[in-house]
């Protein structure tokens, strides 16, 4: 059976046996949290468990490295939707130890594109039209640096209201231990 067939088979039973019932909730985050974190597989179940998050508690946005690259990109848009449309009051950016985006080798990745059959000419056409691979495939030196970079963009964003707290953490992907990197204590936060 292929991966997709297995997945569909399981899903059919999941629905038939009403296993979804324990997860029923609504779209508004009960703990008023929006979290930007990494897509790392070790965090799939560990992160919600380690933060005591259940279905319905938080909006969770994931990408490689928990990195915000652009103030008007899709991750930032998701954060704004969580704040304005879904009632989130705190933004948590959670990087992790041993992240694959630490010192991401952009040249090495371009070589892999070519090995997998992407023509050289495609890379040069992209470069010539302003898509710089070293920027597009940029990681960070350490997870703390990545988190601080994302925090800076969110905290200084012209559309993020000042009464929203924006905090940074690094999580251990084995033990789930959370280290606070930067707590938002802007004066507007005092309530």
Where along the sequence are the contacts to Zn ion (CB under 5 A)? 38, 40, 99
Residue 54 per-residue DSSP state: -
Report the distance separating Cα 179 and Cα 173, nearest Å: 12
- Residue 38 or 154 having the CB closest to Zn ion: 38
- Residue 99 or 164 having the CB closest to Zn ion: 99
Q: Whole-number minimum distance, CB 135 to Zn ion, in Å?
A: 19
Q: Whole-number minimum distance, CB 96 to Zn ion, in Å?
A: 5
Which residue has tokens 């010539």?
128
- Cα–Cα distances (Å) from 11 to 14, 17, 47, in that order, read 5, 10, 24
- Paired strand residues for 95: 170
Q: Whole-number minimum distance, CB 143 to Zn ion, in Å?
A: 8
Q: Whole-number minimum distance, CB 62 to Zn ion, in Å?
A: 9
Q: Whole-number minimum distance, CB 47 to Zn ion, in Å?
A: 11
- Residue 78 or 89 having the CB closest to Zn ion: 78
Tokens of 89: 């009051």
- Residue 68 or 164 having the CB closest to Zn ion: 68
Report the distance separating Cα 73 and Cα 80, nearest Å: 11
- Residue 56 or 69 having the CB closest to Zn ion: 69
Where does residue 36 rank: exposed (0-12), middle (13-18), buried (19+ CB within 10 A)?
buried
Tokens of 21: 């019932």
């Amino acid at each position: 059976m292929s991966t997709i067939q297995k997945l569909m088979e399981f899903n059919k039973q999941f629905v038939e046996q009403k296993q979804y019932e324990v997860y029923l909730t609504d779209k508004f985050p009960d703990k008023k949290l929006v979290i930007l974190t990494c897509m790392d597989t070790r965090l799939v179940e560990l992160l919600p468990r380690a933060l005591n998050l259940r279905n319905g508690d938080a909006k969770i946005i994931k990408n490689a490295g928990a990195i915000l690259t652009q103030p008007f990109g899709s991750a930032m848009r998701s954060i704004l939707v969580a704040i304005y449309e879904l009632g989130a009051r705190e933004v948590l950016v959670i990087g992790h130890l041993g992240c694959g985006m630490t010192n991401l080798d952009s040249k090495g990745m371009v070589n892999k594109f070519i090995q997998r059959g992407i023509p050289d000419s495609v890379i040069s056409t992209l470069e010539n039209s302003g898509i710089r691979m070293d920027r597009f495939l940029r990681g960070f030196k350490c997870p703390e640096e990545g988190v601080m970079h994302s925090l800076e963009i969110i905290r200084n964003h012209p559309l993020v209201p000042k009464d929203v707290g924006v905090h940074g953490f690094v999580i251990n992907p084995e033990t789930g231990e959370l280290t606070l990197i930067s707590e938002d204590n802007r004066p507007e936060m005092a309530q």
